[in-house]
C-alpha cells in the first residue's frame, strides 16, 4: 500500500549496509534519521527503498533473539527473550517525540488569538501526519511488544497514541496556559456570531484535536471527552450564555416581542448549525439547553404576556412561533394553554349570546349549533396550524368547549337544554325538508353534530329527544335518507356503546315488520272479499322501544273507518295470540277529501282533526260542547285544535259556534292542517325531562347494585366515586341523587350498612 510517498510492504532479507539486529545505538541512529524526515520534512517524501530499509531494521530489532541487557527507563524493567525486544525502541521514540515538541512549541510563545490558532492547527496537522507514518513503520512493535506489555498490566501505548500523549503533555499543556488557546477560539466564534466571516476549518481542526487528546488511561485504544469538555466545552457554553444574555436584554428593550421571537429562532438555529460545523455532537444538548434558558426562559414572562394579543389578532404564524419557542422549555406551554382555554370560553359564550338574543327560550337550534361549530372549528384550526396538534392544547380546547357548550346564554344553568337543541338540529338535518340533504353534505353535517355531541354532559337527554324525534320521522315517513339515519345511529353507537342505541335500532326493525304485516293484512282482506275502499296502514310499535304515550286518551273512532280498525284488531289477535293493541291516536294522520267546496281539496289532518271535521258531514254549524260529545275529546285537547282550524279558516268561529267555511280556498290541492301546537311542544319537552329523571334514578340504582355485587363491601365515599365514574359518560350525576339512590336500595334491602360502621356498605345477595 502506498500513502503520501511512503510504501509499506513485507520486510525483505537483511542488507549488509544495515545495522545489526542487536545493535541498539546503530539501529536507533538509522531509524531516527528517517523519523526526522517523516516528522519534520514530510513533504520531501521518501524513496521506497529507504522506507523498506527502515521497516526491515525495526522488524529485525524487534525479532532479534539475542539477549539485550540494557535497562529500560521508567516503569519498564529488563525483560529477556526474542518476543520481548522493543522497550529500548519505545523509550527512544518517547524521548524523540518529547524533544521534538519542546523545540516546536517555542514558536507559540509570542502568539495569540487567530495567529496562535493557525500555528497550533498547522503544527497539529504536520505532527499527526508524521506520527501516523511512524506508527506504521513500527507495526511489529505495536502488534507484539506493546500488546504483551499491556497484557501484563503496564501502561504503554501504540506509537501513534504515544505521540498524542506526548503532544498533550509537552505542547498542549504549554499553549493552554492562561486559557490563551481557548480564548482565541471563543473570540473567533464570537466574530462569527457578529456576522464576520471566519475560517471554520481552523476552529474545527483545533476542536477536533482536543477531542483526540482525550486518552483513556485504562484503555489507550479508547478516547474520552475529558480534555474537550474541561478545556473547551464548559468555557464555550459559559461564553455563549454571557453573549446571548447581553444581546437578548438589549434586543427586547428596543424591538417588539414578535421581532425578538424571530431573533431567538435565528440564534437557536445558528447554534444548532455550529454543532454540525465544528463541535462534538455530545455538546448539542447542553449548549441548546443553555441557549434556551437565556433566550426563552429568561424572557418567558414577556412571551406569555404577548400570547393573548396574538390570539386576539389571530396571528397564526406568530402563534406558531411563540408555541415553538416555549415548547422548548419545561412548563413553558402551561400558561399558554390556560390563556387559550379562557379565550375559547369567551369566544364561545359571546357567539351564543349573539344568536340567543334576549331569551334562550326561543333559541333557533340551527343558529345555536352553527355558533358552537363555528367557535370549535376556528379554534381547532388554530390548534392544528399554530400549535402542531399538541395534546395539551387539544385538552384545553375540549375543556373550554365542554364548559360553554353546556352552560351559556341560551341554556342558563340548565345543562339539559344544550343536548335538546342539538337533538332538534339533528332532527332538522335528517328530515326531508332539509334543503342540503344530498348524501355527501348530509354525512358531513352528521359528523359535525358528533363533534358537538362529545362535549354534551347530559348525553341521556340527547338520547331521549333524539329517540322521540326519530320516532316522529319514521312514523311520518319524513326521513331524508335511510342511509343517513343508519349512519347517525352508527356514530352514536361508536361514541356511547350498543346499549345507547339498541332501542333506536329496534325502531327500524319494527318499521320493516309493520310493512310485512300490512301487506299480509291487505292480502287477507282481498282474499276474504272484505277489502276496504280506503287506504289503511297501521304501524305496530313495540311499547318497550318506542317513546310513545297517551294510550288512554278519550276518543270516539269516527264511524267512517271504525270498521277497518275492528277488522285489523281481529286479524292481529288471530296472528299474535296474547298480544294487545293500544292505539296512539295522537300520532294518527289522515287525508280526507272535500266535497262541499268548489275546489276538490285534500286535507291532511290528525286523528282528532279528522274526527272534528267528519262531524260536519251532517251539519254546517256546531258548538264546542257538541263537538266534544261527538268526538269524545276533552276540552284541554279540543280547544287548541279548534283554534288551529279556525286560524286556517277551515272553520269560522262567531263566539259560541264553529261553522264550516264553504268559501274556503287554497292555492294548493293538498292542505296540511296537521301542524304542531306550541303548547304540545312545551309539554313534550317536559315529558321528555320527566322520563330522563326517572331513567336516571333507575340507572343510578342499577349502577350501585352492579358495583356492590362485584365488590361485596365498599365505603360510602368510594361507592360515590365509582358511581360517578361509571355514569358520567351518560350524564353528570349529582351527589344528592346518588345518596337518594343508596337510601332507596337500603330500604329495598339490596345493600345494608355494616354495624358500628355507618359509612361501610355490604351487598345483600
CB 460 within 8 A of CB 453: no
Q: 492, 449 in Cβ contact below 8 A?
A: no
Q: What angle do CA 180, 185, 190 make, to 5 degrees?
A: 125
- State how far the alpha carbon of 418 is from the alpha carbons of 40, 412, 453, 707, in Å: 89, 10, 10, 30
Q: What is the pLDDT of residues 15-29, one digit of tens each?
A: 447 888 778 888 899
Report how far residue 242's alpha carbon sits from residue 233's, in angstroms, rounded to the nearest whole number: 14
* Joined grid coordinates for residue 111: 502568539
| Mean pLDDT along residues 502-513 | 90
Least confident piece of the model among 274-283, 359-368, 600-609: 359-368
Lowest mean pLDDT, pick from 585-594, 660-669, 684-693: 684-693
Calculate mean pLDDT across residues 134-148: 89
Q: Is it the case that residue 461 has pLDDT exceeding 70? A: yes
Helix (H) or strand (E) holding 758: strand 757-763
**Paired residues of 752 in beta bridges:** 762
**Exposure on the CB side of residue 250, measured as CA atoms within 13 A:** 6
Distances (CA, A) of 67 to 36, 61, 143, 146, 235: 28, 11, 20, 18, 53
Q: Give the Cα separation of 487 and 491 in Å (integer).
A: 6
The residues that bridge with 659 in the sheet, in sequence order, are 621, 652
- Neighbouring C-beta atoms of residue 155, cutoff 10 Å: 13
- Quick: pLDDT tens for 595-637: 888 889 999 998 899 999 999 998 999 999 999 999 999 988 8
Q: Characterize the bridge pairing of strands 602-606 and 589-593.
A: antiparallel
Mean pLDDT along residues 464-484:
89
Quick one: angle between helices 607-614 and 635-647, nearest 10? Answer: 80
CB 707 within 8 Å of CB 745: no
pLDDT of 150 reads 84
**pLDDT given for residue 45 in this prediction:** 75
**What is the tens place of the pLDDT at every residue in 236-268?**
999 999 999 999 999 999 999 999 999 999 999
- Name the band, by pLDDT with cuts 50, 70 and 90, for residue 211: very high
- Over residues 730-738, mean pLDDT: 87
- Whether 358 has a pLDDT exceeding 70, the answer reads no
Query: What cell was used for 465?
Result: 329527544
d(CA 361, CA 411): 8
Most confident of 12-16, 303-307, 523-527, 751-755: 303-307
Helix axes 316-326, 300-313, angle to 10 degrees: 150
pLDDT score of 160: 92
Domains of the chain (ranges; CATH) run 8-157 (1.20.1310.10), 414-496 (1.20.1310.10), 511-585 (no CATH), 588-675 (3.30.230.130), 681-763 (1.10.10.10)
Q: Measured between alpha carbons, how far is 271 from 249 in angstroms, rounded to an integer?
A: 18
In the chain, helix, strand, coil percent, each to 5? 65, 5, 30
DSSP state of 361: T
Angstrom distance (rounded) from CA 569 to CA 575: 10
What value does the mean pLDDT of the chain take? 87
Tell me which of 132-141, 322-331, 754-763 is least confident: 754-763
User: Which of 219-223, 474-478, 547-551 has the lowest average pLDDT?
Assistant: 219-223
User: What pLDDT score does 235 carry?
Assistant: 95
* Closest alpha carbon to 427 in 683, 684, 686: 684
CA distance 699 to 70: 100
Q: Where are the beta strands (DSSP E) in 647-733?
A: 651-653, 657-660, 670-672, 713-715
Least confident of 217-226, 359-368, 663-672: 217-226
pTM higher than 0.85, yes or no? no
pLDDT digits (tens, 9 = 90+) for 687-722: 787 888 888 888 888 998 999 888 888 889 999 999
For 682-691, the CB contacts below 8 A with 24+ separation are 684/468, 685/420, 687/549, 688/420, 688/461, 688/464, 688/465, 688/468, 688/547, 689/416, 689/461, 691/464, 691/547
pLDDT for the residue 15: 43
Q: Which of 290-294, 471-475, 477-481, 671-675 has the highest mean pLDDT?
A: 290-294
Amino acid at each position: 500500500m502506498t500513502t503520501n510517498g511512503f510504501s509499506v510492504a513485507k520486510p525483505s532479507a537483511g542488507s549488509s549496509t544495515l545495522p545489526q539486529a542487536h545493535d541498539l545505538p546503530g539501529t536507533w541512529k538509522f531509524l531516527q534519521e528517517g523519523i526526522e524526515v517523516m516528522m519534520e520534512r514530510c513533504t520531501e517524501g521518501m524513496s521506497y527503498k529507504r522506507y523498506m530499509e527502515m521497516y526491515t531494521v525495526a522488524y529485525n530489532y524487534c525479532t532479534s533473539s539475542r539477549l539485550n541487557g540494557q535497562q529500560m527507563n521508567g516503569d519498564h524493567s529488563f525483560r529477556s527473550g526474542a518476543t520481548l525486544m522493543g522497550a529500548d525502541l519505545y523509550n527512544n521514540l518517547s524521548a524523540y517525540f518529547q524533544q521534538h515538541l519542546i523545540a516546536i512549541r517555542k514558536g507559540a510563545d509570542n502568539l495569540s488569538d487567530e495567529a496562535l490558532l493557525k500555528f497550533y492547527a498547522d503544527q497539529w496537522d504536520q505532527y499527526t501526519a508524521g506520527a501516523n507514518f511512524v506508527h506504521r513503520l513500527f507495526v511489529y512493535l505495536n502488534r507484539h511488544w506493546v500488546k504483551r506489555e499491556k497484557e501484563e498490566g503496564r501502561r504503554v501505548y501504540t506509537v501513534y497514541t504515544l505521540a498524542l500523549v506526548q503532544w498533550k503533555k509537552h505542547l498542549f499543556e504549554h499553549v493552554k496556559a492562561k486559557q490563551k488557546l481557548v480564548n482565541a477560539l471563543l473570540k473567533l466564534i464570537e466574530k462569527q456570531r457578529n456576522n464576520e466571516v471566519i475560517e471554520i476549518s481552523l476552529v474545527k481542526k483545533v476542536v477536533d484535536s482536543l477531542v483526540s487528546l482525550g486518552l483513556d488511561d485504562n484503555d489507550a485504544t479508547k478516547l474520552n471527552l475529558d480534555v474537550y469538555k474541561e478545556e473547551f466545552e464548559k468555557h464555550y457554553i459559559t461564553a455563549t450564555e454571557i453573549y446571548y444574555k447581553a444581546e437578548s436584554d438589549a434586543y427586547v428593550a428596543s424591538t417588539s416581542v414578535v421581532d425578538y421571537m424571530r431573533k431567538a429562532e435565528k440564534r437557536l438555529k445558528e447554534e444548532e448549525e455550529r454543532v454540525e460545523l465544528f463541535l462534538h455532537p455530545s455538546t448539542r444538548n447542553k449548549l441548546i439547553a443553555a441557549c434556551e434558558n437565556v433566550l426563552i426562559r429568561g424572557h418567558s414572562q414577556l412571551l406569555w404576556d404577548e400570547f393573548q394579543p396574538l390570539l386576539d389578532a389571530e396571528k397564526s404564524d406568530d402563534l406558531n412561533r411563540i408555541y415553538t419557542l416555549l415548547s422548548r422549555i419545561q412548563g413553558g406551554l402551561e400558561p399558554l394553554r390556560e390563556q387559550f382555554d379562557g379565550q375559547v370560553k369567551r369566544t364561545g359564550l359571546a357567539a351564543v349570546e349573539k344568536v340567543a338574543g334576549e331569551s334562550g327560550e326561543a333559541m333557533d337550534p340551527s343558529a345555536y349549533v352553527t355558533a358552537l361549530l363555528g367557535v370549535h372549528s376556528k379554534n381547532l384550526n388554530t390548534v392544528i396550524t399554530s400549535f402542531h396538534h399538541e395534546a395539551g392544547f387539544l385538552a384545553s380546547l375540549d375543556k373550554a368547549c365542554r364548559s360553554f357548550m353546556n352552560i351559556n346564554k341560551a341554556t342558563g344553568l340548565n345543562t339539559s337544554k344544550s343536548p335538546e337543541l342539538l337533538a332538534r338540529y339533528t332532527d332538522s338535518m335528517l328530515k326531508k325538508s332539509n334543503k342540503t340533504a344530498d348524501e355527501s353534505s348530509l354525512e358531513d353535517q352528521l359528523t359535525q353534530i358528533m363533534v358537538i355531541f362529545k362535549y354534551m354532559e347530559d348525553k341521556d337527554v340527547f338520547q331521549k329527544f333524539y329517540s322521540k324525534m326519530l320516532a316522529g320521522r319514521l312514523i311520518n315517513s319524513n326521513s331524508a335518507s335511510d342511509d343517513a339515519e343508519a349512519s347517525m345511529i352508527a356514530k352514536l353507537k361508536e361514541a356511547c356503546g350498543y346499549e345507547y342505541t339498541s332501542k333506536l335500532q329496534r325502531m327500524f326493525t319494527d318499521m320493516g315488520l309493520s310493512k310485512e304485516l300490512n301487506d299480509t293484512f291487505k292480502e287477507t282482506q282481498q282474499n276474504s272479499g272484505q277489502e276496504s275502499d280506503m287506504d289503511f296502514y297501521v304501524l305496530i310499535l313495540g311499547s318497550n322501544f318506542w317513546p310513545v304515550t297517551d294510550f288512554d286518551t278519550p276518543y270516539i273512532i269516527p264511524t267512517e273507518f271504525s270498521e277497518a280498525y275492528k277488522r285489523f284488531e281481529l286479524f292481529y289477535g288471530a296472528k299474535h295470540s296474547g298480544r294487545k293493541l293500544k292505539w296512539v291516536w295522537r300520532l294518527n294522520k289522515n287525508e280526507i277529501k272535500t266535497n262541499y267546496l268548489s275546489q276538490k281539496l285534500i286535507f291532511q289532518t290528525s286523528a282528532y282533526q279528522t274526527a272534528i271535521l267528519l262531524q260536519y258531514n251532517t251539519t254546517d254549524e256546531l258548538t264546542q260542547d257538541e263537538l266534544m260529545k261527538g268526538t269524545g275529546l276533552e276540552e284541554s285537547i279540543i280547544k287548541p285544535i279548534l283554534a288551529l282550524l279556525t286560524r286556517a279558516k277551515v272553520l269560522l268561529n262567531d263566539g259560541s259556534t264553529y261553522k264550516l267555511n264553504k268559501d274556503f280556498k287554497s292555492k294548493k290541492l293538498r292542505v296540511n292542517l296537521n301542524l304542531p301546537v306550541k303548547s304540545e311542544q312545551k309539554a313534550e319537552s317536559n315529558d321528555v325531562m320527566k322520563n330522563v329523571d326517572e331513567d336516571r334514578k333507575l340507572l343510578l340504582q342499577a349502577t350501585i347494585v352492579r358495583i356492590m355485587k362485584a365488590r361485596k363491601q365498599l365505603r360510602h365515599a368510594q361507592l360515590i366515586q365509582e358511581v360517578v365514574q361509571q355514569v358520567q359518560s351518560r350524564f353528570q350525576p349529582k351527589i344528592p341523587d346518588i345518596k337518594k339512590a343508596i337510601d332507596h336500595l337500603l330500604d329495598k334491602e339490596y345493600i345494608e350498612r355494616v354495624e358500628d360502621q355507618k359509612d361501610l356498605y355490604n351487598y345483600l345477595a
